[in-house]
Amino acid sequence: MFKHLMVKLLSLGLLVTMFFTCNIAISAATPTSGVDIQKIENQQKDNEKNIDFSFVKTLTEKVELPTKGWTKTEVNIRKKPNKKSKIIKTYSFNKKIKYYKYNKKWVYVILKNKKGYIYKKYISKKKNKYRIYNLPKYNGYKSWMPYTAITSSGSPQYKLQHQYAYTGKYGIRMVKDRFCVAIGYHFKCFIGQYFDLILANGTVIKCIKGDEKAKRDTDANNIFSRNGCATEFLIDRSSLSHSIKMSGDISSACKSWKSRVKQIKIYKKNILSGR
């Protein structure tokens, strides 16, 4: 782009120089007597009007720079700035992006030299903070419990299940794209708070805290239950996949889940508190 502008500027300079040199030569070589001076001046003005200076405008135009941000949740990128438009890609929660302003409600990102549109309210200018806990080695067992066992209607657990959650993949209760899971007090995580289970094989299971393991049911560090489980998934028994029912282990849901939890990443974001 810069080289292109330089070539045009040099060409313009050469053109102007030749123009004025030619006029000077004509003026010097042509006697004033018998010459229509006004006609020559008018011709010079017409020539000046015909010189294209439009490209110079690009030098003074403000170049739009992208804005840095992070996704507030899992967010769809659409072909057009319309909620009914085709989804061309989906970004995960807390993903760093660079975007450009389109209007008050929409922004766009560049995907393979094409524009993709995101609803602006799903983007934050700040990264969502998180803490990472390393888990000691264990057998990798992931248990489950029926969500209907949560019966206290005034509890945040109950609110999460009845106002936000639905029965999703494998019969596990979900909030948006996250699985509802109970973990121990050790992780200092509140009901409705986002977290990721990072497995030893590299798989990441996106979760939201749906319940807390009781201190009396966990070890001295409040991490593992008596069965060696660090995570307890909330399920809908009527929709639970056959493989999970047979094994009693959520790891049976899919091949990539058959690995122990190596780390738990706790995010600041909490759907109940609106943070």
Instruction: Let me know: does 119 contact 83? Beta carbons within 8 Å.
Output: yes
Q: How many CB atoms lie within 10 A of CB 12?
A: 15
pLDDT tens-digit map of 33-56:
555 666 666 666 666 666 555 555
Same domain, 114 and 142: no
Same domain, 156 and 89: no
Residue 167 belongs to domain spanning: 130-270
Run of H or E including 40: helix 37-50
Q: Is the pLDDT of residue 151 over 70?
A: yes
- Among 124, 140, 155, identify where a domain stops: 124
Instruction: Let me know: does 170 contact 143? Beta carbons within 8 Å.
Output: no
Q: How many CB atoms lie within 10 A of CB 173?
A: 26
Confidence class of residue 163 from pLDDT cuts 50, 70 and 90? very high
d(CA 110, CA 100): 9
Residues of the chain above pLDDT 70, percent: 77
pTM for this predicted structure = 0.69
HSE (CB half, 13 Å, CA atoms) of 1?
5
CATH number, domain of 86, equals: 2.30.30.40
275 belongs to a structural domain: no
Same domain, 235 and 107: no
Q: Answer left, alpha or beta for residue 187, where phi above 0 means left and psi between -120 and 50 means alpha.
A: alpha
Write down the H helix ranges in 61-169: 156-163
d(CA 110, CA 176): 25
Write down the H helix ranges in 105-261: 156-163, 242-247
